[in-house]
């Protein structure tokens, strides 16, 4: 119960922190650029996800882990 | 505007010239905000955004090679509605480690089909060179706003290989807060996969048999995978946006690799126990098919930052994953997009990955000990580090489309826990290290 309260307090503190961050809508010029998107190149990201899914034991995290055999 | 319309009308009234009538029509359209030249308008506002790429992935030592075509087509509608269609065609060839250890002597193995045998030279890493597959993967996603600050995305995916069928559904919801500076998202995905191994799925921990003997093979197998992701992204300031995700994945069903075996070895010398092949050929040693638990639960934390540094954009991410197979992994990924001139850029990329071995990872099976319930020598379940280093060059073409070429090297180097090395194995390289070259050429255009 105490741990849960602590966790809640941390989440609330983070949310309070978030509300003071950010920019006004007219200051989004840099953020609106394509290369500032969290996934700037979806095709390349999908390619990498599939390569590492096939060759490593863990995958996903950024998005869903993806499908396929990965038996080779 | 009223004055302009009056002036055009005045000219038209005073002249019967057809060219002036056309000019009038054109001017009227301009004033009404419409246009008579629809094709030009279509080019100015593309409704399809198509990304395509050709990928070459090749591992050293005649191991796996993949030639892949990928496309991701986005149909952009008004009001943020987007249809995304994905297509991948992979052509895979080459050899892959079969899981057995090296020996000072020629080794023979029965192929997965059970119809033939192959030979591995003295001291060489046992590779199964039968591997050849074509993979077709399709996906479709629909995104649309939900209310003023919400965004819904639903999708389906399917992929087919010779021995494998994947089908999946996914859904995601994202909600903006704090003047769209904070976005909280939650997603769920479910996949149902069927594996129909060449020659049939082998009974776990039973021996590889002689050519023509498929008595320990079963039919096809299934697994299902449930993924859940919750995340938050936050605009920190004009130049920095950060993201954090928690992911949960639960896999149930047949999680074995049906083509991997383990060498059964002498408890003192570490040499593979010999076996006399049948008249039509067969294994020269005792090799048992692997077995993994039929359930796996993973938890992951993914964090990412995108930082604008005076026009150069740093993309840095860190991921930690842990699961009940006792595999822990850490991944650090960094890219720096560096503009070169007004319409091109260079992007160096490095990635560091490390993972611990699964609790049932075994390089070989000690004959002096009882057989474990679960065992696999699949190098992907071992303890290894991997490094990716690469460079991408991207530029705008004359018609304002985007081209990019990237070249990367991927290398894996693993270690076997010392307690698992028996006798003569200490003198051999038991982990199948991997070096691969990745070349991707991509082209993006609007329609």
- pLDDT of amino acid B78: 84
> B182 and A42: CB-CB below 8 Å?
no
Closest CA relative to residue B216, chosen from B357, B93, B364, B114: B114
What are the tens digits of pLDDT across the range A21-53?
Answer: 899 999 999 999 999 999 999 999 999 999 999
- pLDDT of amino acid B131: 77
DSSP structure class, residue B158: E
Task: Confirm or reject contact between B191 and chain A (CB < 8 A).
Answer: yes
Chain B residue with the nearest C-alpha to that of A11: B232
Dist. CA B274–CA B285, nearest whole Å: 4
Task: Confirm or reject contact between B49 and chain A (CB < 8 A).
Answer: no
- pLDDT of amino acid B346: 98
Question: Residues 311 to 340 of B: which have CB under 8 A from any A CB?
Answer: 313, 315, 317, 319, 321, 323, 325, 327, 329, 331, 337
Chain A residue with the nearest C-alpha to that of B330: A58
- pLDDT of amino acid A64: 78
Query: How far does the CA of residue A29 sit from the closest CA of chain B (Å)?
Result: 8
Residue B35: φ, ψ to 5°: -145, 150
Dist. CA B333–CA B351, nearest whole Å: 4
- pLDDT of amino acid B80: 83
- pLDDT of amino acid B31: 39
Task: Confirm or reject contact between A7 and chain B (CB < 8 A).
Answer: no
Task: Confirm or reject contact between B255 and chain A (CB < 8 A).
Answer: no
**Token pair listed for B242:** 């950060």
Dist. CA B79–CA A56, nearest whole Å: 40
Helix B2-14 to helix B18-32 angle (10° resolution) is 170
- pLDDT of amino acid A19: 62
Closest CA relative to residue B178, chosen from B237, B235, B230: B235
**Token pair listed for B272:** 């593979």
Q: With beta carbons under 8 A apart, name residues in chain A contacting B406.
A: 44
Residues B113-117: contacts with CB under 8 Å, at least 24 apart: B113/B198, B113/B199, B114/B199, B114/B209, B114/B211, B114/B212, B114/B213, B114/B214, B114/B217, B115/B199, B115/B211, B115/B212, B116/B211, B116/B281, B117/B211, B117/B277, B117/B281, B117/B282, B117/B283
> A23 and B237: CB-CB below 8 Å?
yes
Query: How far does the CA of residue B270 sit from the closest CA of chain A (Å)?
Result: 26
Chain A residue with the nearest C-alpha to that of B345: A35
- pLDDT of amino acid A6: 66
What's the length of chain B?
447
Distances, alpha carbon B295 to alpha carbons A72, B223, B250, B335, in Å: 21, 9, 7, 35
Chain A residue with the nearest C-alpha to that of B322: A58
> B86 and A46: CB-CB below 8 Å?
yes
Task: Confirm or reject contact between B68 and chain A (CB < 8 A).
Answer: yes
Distances, alpha carbon B89 to alpha carbons B32, B134, B163, in Å: 47, 7, 15
Distances, alpha carbon B98 to alpha carbons B142, B229, B257, B290, in Å: 41, 34, 10, 11
CA-only gyration radius of chain B, Å = 29
Q: With beta carbons under 8 A apart, name residues in chain B contacting A67.
A: 137, 157, 159, 166, 168, 191, 193, 225
Three-state DSSP class for residue B169: strand
Interface predicted TM-score (ipTM) of this complex, two decimals? 0.87
The gap from C-alpha A21 to its chain's centroid, in whole angstroms, comes to 18
What are the tens digits of pLDDT across the range B95-107?
Answer: 999 999 999 999 9
Q: How many alpha carbons fall within 13 Å on the CB side of residue B213?
A: 16
> B313 and A62: CB-CB below 8 Å?
no
Maximum distance among all Cα pairs of chain B, rounded to whole angstroms = 110
Alpha helices in B18-120 (DSSP H): 18-32, 38-44
**Contact status, residue B353 vs residue B367, Cβ threshold 8 Å:** no
Among A17, A18, A41, A52, most B C-beta atoms within 10 A, so best to mutate, is A41
Maximum distance among all Cα pairs of chain A, rounded to whole angstroms = 50
Three-state DSSP class for residue B439: strand
Residue B397: φ, ψ to 5°: -80, 175
Which portions of chain B are predicted below pLDDT 70?
1-46
Task: Confirm or reject contact between B192 and chain A (CB < 8 A).
Answer: no
Q: How many CB atoms lie within 10 A of CB B291?
A: 21
> B179 and A67: CB-CB below 8 Å?
no
In DSSP notation, chain A reads: -HHHHHHHHHHHHHHHHHHT----GGG-TTTTSGGGSSSS-HHHHHHHHHHHHHHSS---SSS----S----
Dist. CA B442–CA B445, nearest whole Å: 10
Query: How far does the CA of residue B203 sit from the closest CA of chain A (Å)?
Result: 17
Dist. CA B365–CA B371, nearest whole Å: 7
**Contact status, residue B199 vs residue B217, Cβ threshold 8 Å:** yes
Question: Residues 26 to 55 of A: which have CB under 8 A from any B CB?
Answer: 27-31, 33, 35-38, 40-44, 46-47, 50-52, 55
Question: Residues 103 to 122 of B: which have CB under 8 A from any A CB?
Answer: none
- pLDDT of amino acid B7: 38
Query: How far does the CA of residue B28 sit from the closest CA of chain A (Å)?
Result: 34
> B355 and A55: CB-CB below 8 Å?
no
- pLDDT of amino acid B274: 96
Three-state DSSP class for residue B86: strand
- Interface size between A and B, measured as CB pairs under 8 A: 173
């Amino acid at each position: 119960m105490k741990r849960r309260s602590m966790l809640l307090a941390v989440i609330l503190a983070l949310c309070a922190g978030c509300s003071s961050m950010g920019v006004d809508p007219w200051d989004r010029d840099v953020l609106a650029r394509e290369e500032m998107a969290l996934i700037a190149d979806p095709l390349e990201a999908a390619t990498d996800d599939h390569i590492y899914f096939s060759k490593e034991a863990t995958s996903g995290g950024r998005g869903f882990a993806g499908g396929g055999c990965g038996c080779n | 505007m009223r004055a302009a319309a009056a002036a055009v009308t005045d000219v038209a009234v005073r002249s019967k010239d057809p060219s002036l009538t056309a000019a009038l029509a054109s001017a009227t359209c301009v004033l009404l905000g419409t246009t008579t030249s629809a094709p030009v308008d279509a080019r100015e506002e593309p409704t399809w955004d198509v990304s395509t790429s050709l990928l070459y992935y090749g591992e050293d030592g005649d191991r796996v090679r993949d030639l892949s075509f990928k496309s991701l087509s986005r149909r952009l509608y008004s009001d943020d509605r987007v249809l995304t269609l994905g297509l991948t065609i992979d052509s895979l060839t080459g050899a892959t480690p079969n899981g057995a250890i090296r020996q000072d002597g020629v080794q023979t193995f029965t192929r997965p089909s059970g119809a033939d045998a192959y030979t591995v030279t003295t001291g060489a890493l046992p590779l199964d060179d039968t591997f050849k597959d074509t993979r077709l993967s399709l996906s479709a996603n629909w995104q649309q706003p939900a209310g003023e600050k919400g965004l819904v995305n639903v999708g389906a995916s399917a992929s087919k290989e010779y021995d494998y069928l994947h089908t999946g559904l996914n859904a995601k919801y994202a909600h903006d807060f704090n003047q769209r500076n904070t976005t909280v998202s939650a997603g769920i995905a479910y996949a149902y996969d069927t594996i129909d191994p060449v020659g049939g799925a082998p009974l776990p921990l039973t021996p590889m048999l002689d050519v023509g003997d498929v008595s320990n093979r079963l039919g096809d197998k299934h697994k299902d995978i449930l993924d859940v992701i919750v995340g938050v992204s936050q605009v920190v300031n004009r130049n920095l946006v950060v993201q954090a995700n928690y992911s949960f994945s639960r896999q149930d069903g047949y999680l074995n690799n049906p083509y991997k075996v383990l060498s059964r070895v002498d408890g003192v010398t570490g040499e593979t126990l010999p076996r006399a092949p049948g008249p039509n050929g067969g294994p020269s040693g005792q090799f048992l098919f692997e077995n993994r638990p039929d359930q796996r639960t993973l938890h992951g934390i993914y964090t990412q930052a995108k930082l604008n540094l005076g026009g150069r954009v740093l993309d840095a991410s860190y991921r930690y994953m842990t699961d009940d197979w006792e595999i822990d992994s850490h991944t650090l990924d960094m890219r720096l997009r560096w503009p070169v001139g007004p319409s091109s850029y260079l992007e160096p990329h490095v990635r560091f990955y490390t993972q611990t071995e699964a609790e049932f990872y075994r390089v070989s099976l000690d004959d002096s000990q009882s057989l474990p319930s679960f065992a696999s020598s699949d190098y992907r379940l071992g303890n290894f580090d991997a490094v990716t280093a690469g460079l991408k060059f991207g530029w705008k073409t004359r018609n304002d489309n985007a081209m990019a070429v990237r070249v990367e090297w991927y290398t894996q180097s693993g270690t076997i826990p010392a307690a698992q090395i028996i006798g003569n194995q200490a003198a051999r390289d038991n982990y199948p290290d991997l070096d691969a070259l990745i070349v991707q050429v991509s082209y993006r255009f609007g329609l």
